[in-house]
Amino acid sequence: MSAIAQTTAGTVQGTEENGLCVFRGLPFAAPPVGDLRFKAPQPVEPWDGVRDASSFGPISLQAPNEMLEGLLPPADPPQPQSEDCLYLNVWTPGLDDAARPVMVWIHGGAFTIGSGSEVYYDGSNLAARGDVVIVTINYRLGALGFLNLPALGETNFGMRDQVAALQWVQANIASFGGDPANVTIFGESAGGMSVASLMASPEAAGLFHKAIPQSGAGHNALSVEETNATALKFCAALGVDPDDVDALMAADPADILAASVAVDPIASAESASDMADAGASPTPQMPFQPVIDGAFLSVLPIDHIRMGSADGIATLVGSLDEELKLLAAAGPAEPMTEEAAIAVFGMMHPDGESAYATYRAARRERGEDDSPSEIFVAAIGDVMLRVPGLRLADAQTMRAPTYTYLFDWKSPGMDGALGSCHALELPFVFGTHAAVPLFAGSGPEADAFAEATMDTWLAFARTGNPDNDAAEAPPWDTQSKPLMVLGPNIRVEHDWRGPELSVWDAVIS
């Protein structure tokens, strides 16, 4: 069986799978190779005849993250990598004029790893359950996606790849049964930060209508000065003069990848403590991420959003209850000391000892584990992900319907050590939990929870309101702070973990 659709660049042939039409490896921009390396994406060259779209395209060049090996299932077989990576994938219930809601997925991975074709992101279950069109995309990563060097004259290549994918959706998705006037962008971790950056950027205006930043929000972007400093270190690691554009263009891709890793303290971290030390600040940063270049972004995304850049964009933003446990589980087995935990607090807060004491007292009052390791994990997750998400909700609720969630389902992985960790929502959002039972769990309760999670995301994509039979979702307000908690006990909480979060009020704006 096959499925044929027309795009602006030519005809494509996908496959029919379990009642869906599936198209893999569709090019949304020209290959960013040769003279197009370190350039904004360019239009696809049209083709004659029918292009095969039955298999995924190559993914962006990336090095394995050794911290995560063994925690998340690797692709089997490994996905081929190439600089020629600008491809997207489409799952649709029909090639007709039904004008279905469209959901465009932006993968995470610290802007250095990941792809739109990972096992978690199979769009089949979500497309079939919700009668929606699912699109997953690749974008350039690491230095190839985010190097900012004056001699190049351009930057934010990876973010502009995402814009090019959304432009492709606007121009083509009607041919795949989708509605270009009802597009939801959603993404996790670096993908959530990307969603917030797209909400902020004038270059993405009008390309989408709803947004779901998951475990990532609007405090992640770097100044020209910060990124130029990283670029100089990158050039030194690569062994080229920073003004020698020809040498940068001619450099071997493997050498570019090695130099990217060399300047990334997070990529080389061997424990959660190393990662905290590498990025501990009121707004932890990564060396490769969106750049405040004066064009794609002029200020931090959160500040653009406060000024109304995402007026009218309904937003669902949230995080997990124990985000950092994914990384803590890869760290050393010995427990963290109180002295070490307070030292990390001091890197993030002007009165680290008092902030630590607030966390300890609040956890004791709720009868929760108040060991230094647990407090450390909670605080780093709050600083890096949860508080920025709530700041985005505070800003956006004045501009459009805005909702927040907290995910507290717990992984059975590593004898429960992972808890409700970073990335755990992914197999439930996509209904792919059966593919990763050791991470997500299995059985009737997991199946029912996957259905509830999918229905929440689908309701939001369809209407801009996540309310559904499984979950109540009050609109966010800055006073009562209602939160939709998704887990074994789906419920609404108000000002959940408020005492701990309040310690960052004067630190994270």
pLDDT over threshold 60, residue 276: no
DSSP state of 69: B
pLDDT over threshold 50, residue 283: no
pLDDT tens, position by position, 190-246: 999 999 999 999 999 999 999 999 999 999 999 999 999 999 999 999 999 999 999
Give the type of residue at 265: P
Contacts of 120 by beta carbon, 8 Å cutoff, 6+ apart = 423, 426, 427, 430, 432, 435, 436
Contacts of 318 by beta carbon, 8 Å cutoff, 6+ apart = 214, 215, 389, 404, 405, 406, 407, 483, 484
| CA–CA separation, 50 and 231 (whole Å) | 42
Q: Do 199 and 241 meet the contact criterion of CB atoms below 8 Å apart?
A: no
pLDDT over threshold 60, residue 279: no
Nearest to 107 by CA among 176, 13, 174, 195: 195
**Residue 68, pLDDT score:** 55
**Residue 285, pLDDT score:** 65
Average pLDDT value for residue range 3-10: 96
Q: Do 282 and 507 meet the contact criterion of CB atoms below 8 Å apart?
A: yes
Q: Are strands 3-7 and 314-320 parallel, antiparallel or unpaired?
A: unpaired
**Residue 282, pLDDT score:** 45
CA 288 from centroid of its chain's CA atoms: 14
**Residue 71, pLDDT score:** 53
Confidence category of residue 78, pLDDT binned at 50, 70, 90: confident
Average pLDDT value for residue range 34-59: 96
The DSSP string of 263-327 is T-TTTT--SHHHHHHHH-SSS---SSS-EE-SSS-SS-HHHHHHTTTTTT-EEEEEEETTTTHHH
In SS3 terms, 400-460 reads as CCEEEEEECCCECHHHHCCECCCCCCHHHHCCCHHHCHHHHCCCHHHHHHHHHHHHHHHHH
- What is the set of active-site residues? 189, 323, 422
Cα torsion at 455, 459, 103, 5 (round to 10°)?
90
Q: Which of 219-233, 283-297, 407-421, 427-441 has the lowest mean pLDDT?
A: 283-297
Contacts of 339 by beta carbon, 8 Å cutoff, 6+ apart = none
**Residue 74, pLDDT score:** 63
Confidence category of residue 281, pLDDT binned at 50, 70, 90: very low
Confidence category of residue 419, pLDDT binned at 50, 70, 90: very high
| CA–CA separation, 156 and 258 (whole Å) | 20
Q: Are strands 50-52 and 87-92 parallel, antiparallel or unpaired?
A: unpaired
pLDDT over threshold 80, residue 69: no
**Residue 264, pLDDT score:** 82
pLDDT tens, position by position, 340-362: 999 999 999 999 999 999 999 99
pLDDT tens, position by position, 448-458: 999 999 999 99
**Residue 433, pLDDT score:** 95
In sequence order, the β-bridge partners of residue 134 are: 91, 103
Average pLDDT value for residue range 28-52: 97
pLDDT tens, position by position, 487-500: 999 999 999 999 99
**Residue 268, pLDDT score:** 57
pLDDT over threshold 70, residue 72: no
pLDDT tens, position by position, 231-268: 999 999 999 999 999 999 999 999 999 999 899 876 55
Confidence category of residue 142, pLDDT binned at 50, 70, 90: very high
pLDDT over threshold 90, residue 58: yes
Exposed/middle/buried for residue 480 (C-beta within 10 Å: 0-12, 13-18, 19+)? exposed
Token representation of residue 149: 């060097």
Domains and CATH numbers, the chain: 3-502 (3.40.50.1820)
The percent of residues in the chain predicted with pLDDT above 70, rounded, is 92
The percent of residues in the chain predicted with pLDDT above 90, rounded, is 86
Average pLDDT of the chain is: 92
**Residue 336, pLDDT score:** 84
Query: E strands along 53-128, which residues?
Result: 87-92, 100-106
